[in-house]
Structure 1
């Protein structure tokens, strides 16, 4: 199998990132691995789609760090590859990072669609990712599973929402990820509401979300695969992210701390509530953030912390993910043109 990982750029990748974990697991299994960035596609005059990909040497790597160091080294250079030769293209970029270069934000989605036409399995499904490019996609999930939310640019709307919830709300931008631009309004900060609205509103629409008291204990990052909780022998790919004492954001790279967590009936019920939508949209690998019995985020682009989940659980969750990808390739080979990409993505 030849598998390509689409990322924002090599400079911002890390040996511990989920993409590296998955790519390394693919290499361990003897698959041909390559990396692609937004500027690497080429649609040629004969209508063939090519990528200037960084193809990893097929050899045994000492560990993930060795794999990553090789990727970053001068030994791995971009070379043209016909997309028709690539079995799977895994879209693992974060569009919000490329907000200042709009052409790059949707490159994976646009060329992912073209790759599908040429027989490549694209995960997650690019058509559905196109609808999930901002947090408005979150509103398409059942209201029972979501914290009460308002999306507006009008200060009066947000102030009324804050009053309705006695000032206990979270404010964040419609675009963005990783906890960027997130504010919690409470009795201490209510006098700063105008400044907060102005600061977030400069870049677009504002999300106002009812504060869920259970957030004091942090949120739970929970991986779903093919619409179902990712697990090995009853151990779930999940962790609790606890914010630092001086920050409301529990995101790991925003200073949050990862802890082991038990997944119970509440989390499984939330996952089941949103499962039909994820399956219908061909969302193969998803990370959901749960507080209490509500989802606060649904990351369908580049959910992270898989390595930390594996470390805390004592198992390697990249293995069932690669098992599933290999199975999709086999299904596609055994049933040519029988399934569209959206359905194949969750088989």
Structure 2
């Protein structure tokens, strides 16, 4: 099996990324892997679709640092017809390209659709990802699992919303990730409120969410695969992201810390509530960020943290992900186009 990982750029890949863990697990299971970026698709006049892929060094190293060093050292690319790729794994973060490479934001979804048309299993399903380019996708899920939320560019609307929330609000851009420009606002009387509005509104629409008191302890990242909690040997793929002292953000990129967590019946109930839509949308691998009985975000592009889990619980969840892809490719070989990509993605 050959898996192509679609990422923002080779230079931005890091040893601790979930994509690295997935690639190493795939190679350990005897599969070929390659990396593709937004620059690398080619649609020829004969309607053939190709990718100019970077092939990692053939060494069987299990060391993440050595693997990424070898990946970055590759200067040549191999042109591959997508018909020779079994799985296109879309692992880019569109928000990282929004400012300086706006043209690259939709490339994964656009060419992912073309790959699907040519029989390539593409996860997560590109048609659904096209509708999930920002946090507005979250509003399609049941109200019972969402914090009270306002989305607007009107500062008057946002001020009124702040007044209505006695515990304060979390303010952040509609588009973005990694905890960038996320602020906790206690009331309209805060002296730096105008500066916060200016910083966040520069990125477009704003999301204001009612603050959840349990968030002081951080949130829980719970992985779902095929719409269900990822689990192995009684251990769930979940960890608590604890914010650094004085921080409202629990993102690992924002100095949050990953710690063990006991997955509760309440968390599983929340996951079950969002399962039907995730399955219908063909969302193969997803990360839920949970606080209490609410979900702060649903990460469908590049949910990260599998390596944190492997260190915390000594369980290789990446192997489960690759094993699931193996089964899907086998089904595709047996049934061909009779089963749609979106259905196969979460089968």
TM-score class, shorter-chain normalisation, is over 0.9
User: Would you say the 8 A contact 1:168–1:184 is kept in 2?
Assistant: yes
User: Would you say the 8 A contact 1:26–1:322 is kept in 2?
Assistant: yes
Equivalent-residue separation in structure 2 for 1:174 and 1:124 (angstroms): 21
Task: Provide structure 1 residue ranges, at least 5 long, that are not aligned to the other structure.
Answer: none
- 1:274-293 Cα offsets, whole Å, 9 max, x none, are 00010010000000100111
**Structure 2 counterpart of 1:97:** 96
User: Would you say the 8 A contact 1:32–1:56 is kept in 2?
Assistant: no
- SS of corresponding position for 2:194: helix
- 1:140-179 Cα offsets, whole Å, 9 max, x none, are 0100011110000011111111111026100000000000
- RMSD value, Cα: 1.3
User: Would you say the 8 A contact 2:167–2:210 is kept in 1?
Assistant: no
- 1:169-203 Cα offsets, whole Å, 9 max, x none, are 00000000000010000159723223222221122
**Structure 2 counterpart of 1:226:** 226
Equivalent-residue separation in structure 2 for 1:196 and 1:16 (angstroms): 31
Q: Scaled by the length of structure 1, what TM-score is found?
A: 0.97
User: Would you say the 8 A contact 2:90–2:108 is kept in 1?
Assistant: yes
**Structure 2 counterpart of 1:193:** 193
Equivalent-residue separation in structure 1 for 2:319 and 2:76 (angstroms): 28
Equivalent-residue separation in structure 2 for 1:260 and 1:189 (angstroms): 38
Equivalent-residue separation in structure 1 for 2:11 and 2:311 (angstroms): 25
User: Would you say the 8 A contact 1:289–1:296 is kept in 2?
Assistant: yes
Counterparts in 2 of 1:62 and 1:340: CA distance versus 1, 3 Å = closer
Matching of residue 254 in structure 1 with residue 254 in structure 2: yes
- SS of corresponding position for 1:56: coil
**Structure 1 counterpart of 2:21:** 21
Query: By how many angstroms is 1:77 displaced?
Result: 2.2
User: Would you say the 8 A contact 1:121–1:341 is kept in 2?
Assistant: yes
User: Would you say the 8 A contact 2:162–2:187 is kept in 1?
Assistant: no
- SS of corresponding position for 2:277: helix
Equivalent-residue separation in structure 2 for 1:80 and 1:154 (angstroms): 48
**Structure 2 counterpart of 1:145:** 145
Counterparts in 2 of 1:236 and 1:62: CA distance versus 1, 3 Å = closer
Query: By how many angstroms is 1:57 displaced?
Result: 4.2
**Structure 2 counterpart of 1:129:** 129
**Larger CA deviation: 198-207 vs 174-183:** 198-207
User: Would you say the 8 A contact 1:167–1:185 is kept in 2?
Assistant: no
**Structure 1 counterpart of 2:217:** 217
**Larger CA deviation: 161-170 vs 94-103:** 161-170
Q: Scaled by the length of structure 2, what TM-score is found?
A: 0.97
Query: By how many angstroms is 1:298 displaced?
Result: 0.5
**Structure 2 counterpart of 1:78:** 77
